[in-house]
Structure 1
Amino acid sequence: MQDLIKQSFTESIQSKIVAADMLADAIENAAQTIVNCLLQDKKVICCGDGIAYGVAATFTSMLVQPAGATRPSLPAVLLQGNNTQLSVSAGYNQAEYIYAEQLKIVAQPGDVLLVLASDPNNAVLTRTMEAAVANDMIIIAITGDDGGEVAGLISTNDIEIKIPANKPVRIVEVQQLIAHCLCDAIVNTLFPGSQ
């Protein structure tokens, strides 16, 4: 059992080391894109699939509710996937549009859609990205493995941060670290010395 535990730690550490070397530029570009969005009085809209939903929720919370910081809240929205919405959507055979329909209500052109994908072929995420494209939003997708269908929806104005891992749990661990890096970079750029 301890060997399995140590193997998990080793895989996690190695994934993060490789990601740090490969993704620093993309993370910096993503942070600057979000800063530019916020400086133009736009907002960040976040969504995630499965276990990556928690990362999207954490990132949104870090922007909106600064823990112990002396800075104002930043405009961020988490698209919701609660059981009631899923039940209603499923009843109309529209479950894969649950985020896309919310996005159409809250999004404005120039907003940023932050997509956290543990499964890069998730139909809910791809439908949401299609709605973002139709609404002239900038997309930042944090994926893993080969990027899947999510990567296929990234345009030249968008950013993909592709984590060099194929296990969903490793992808989400690195996504969590990237979310913290993004938040730190955004806040330190907008409010130097506030953290």
Structure 2
Amino acid sequence: MDKYISDIFDEMRETQTRFIAEAAPVLIAISTEIAQCFINGGKLMIFGNGGSAADAQHIAAEFVNRFKMERPPLPAIAFTTDTSILTSIGNDYEFNDVFIKQVSALGNENDVVWGISTSGNSENVVRALREAARGDMKIVGFTGRDGGKMKGLCDLLFQSPSENTARIQEIHIAAAHIICQLVDEIMFGRFAG
């Protein structure tokens, strides 16, 4: 078991090394887009399934509450938190509509929509991104592997450099934390003005 654990850490380090080498330009672009959205009075809407749903909620909390610095709350919504909306749409229509209906109801052209799918092929995420494009919203995607169907739908796409779902998710939350910190610095800190 010691070797098994050591191999997992080796894979994590290899993925992190690729992430560090490749990620800066897209993370800067995503952070700048989100900061501009907030400055322009827009909101951030985040969604995904399973672990990606948990990440969406985690990221929204970092913006609404605070990340590292004291600053005003920022408008971010995780579409996975309202069980009445999720279950009514899933029951009356289908689960693939749970995010598209929320984008349609709540999204405006000043907003940023952030879809998370490790495969890039989650149908409910893909449908919501297509709806966001029809509404002229900026689209951010977090995927892994080859980007899947999301690759052609996003204005800005971050692809975790792995095929392993666990490694993809670990990199996603690290990248999200970097984005949270950069947005804070762009709006209120060292990169403001």
Taking structure 2 as the reference length, the TM-score comes to 0.92
1:98 matched to which residue of 2? 98
Q: Distance in 2 between matches of 1:6 and 1:69?
A: 35
Partner of 1:75: 75
Give the 5 Å matches for 1:98-177.
Answer: 98-154=98-154, 158-177=155-174
Structure 1, gaps ≥5 residues long:
none
Q: What secondary structure does 1:74 align onto?
A: coil
Considering only aligned residues, what root-mean-square deviation do their CA atoms show, in Å? 1.7
Tell me the distance in 2 between the aligned counterparts of 1:23 and 1:85: 35
Is 1:49–1:118's contact at 8 Å kept on the other side of the alignment?
no
Runs (5+) with no aligned partner, structure 2: none
Q: CA deviation at 1:86?
A: 4.4
Q: Is the 8 A contact 2:60 2:78 kept in 1?
A: yes
Q: Structure 1 68/163 Cα, relative in aligned 2: closer, same or farther at 3 Å?
A: closer
**After superposition, what is the alpha-carbon deviation per residue over 1:100-150, rounded to whole angstroms, capped at 9, x for unaligned?**
111111111120011111231100100110111111100010111000011
Residue 21 of structure 2 is matched in structure 1 by 21
Correspondent of 1:178 among 172, 175, 178:
175
Structure 2 counterpart of 1:165, which letter? S
Q: Offset at 1:68? A: 6.7
Whole-Å separation in 2 of the counterparts to 1:169 and 1:55: 13
Number of residue-to-residue matches in the alignment: 190
Q: Distance in 1 between matches of 2:36 and 2:180?
A: 14
State how far apart, in whole Å, the 2-side matches of 1:84 and 1:12 are.
37
In 2, the alpha carbon distance for the partners of 1:140 and 1:148 equals 14
Q: Is the 8 A contact 1:81 1:98 kept in 2?
A: no
C-alpha contact 2:45 2:113 (8 A) present in aligned 1: yes
Distance 2:172 2:4 in 1: 22
Q: Distance in 2 between matches of 1:68 and 1:115?
A: 24
Conserved? CA contact 1:37–1:110, under 8 Å? yes
Instruction: Provide, for residues 51-99 of structure 1, a one-character-per-residue CA deviation record: whole Å limited to 9, x for no partner.
Output: 1111111111000001674211011111126655444334334210101
Check conservation: 1:51, 1:118, Cα contact below 8 A. Answer: no
Measured in 1, the distance between the counterparts of 2:93 and 2:39 equals: 39
Q: Secondary structure at the match of 1:72?
A: coil
Task: Name the CA distance, whole Å, in 1 between partners of 2:40 and 2:82.
Answer: 31
- Normalised by the length of structure 1, the TM-score is 0.91
Residue 52 of structure 2 corresponds to residue 55 of structure 1: no
Alpha-carbon distance change, 162 to 68 in structure 1, aligned in 2, over 3 angstroms: closer
Structure 2 residue 35 is matched with structure 1 residue 35: yes
Tell me the distance in 2 between the aligned counterparts of 1:68 and 1:119.
30
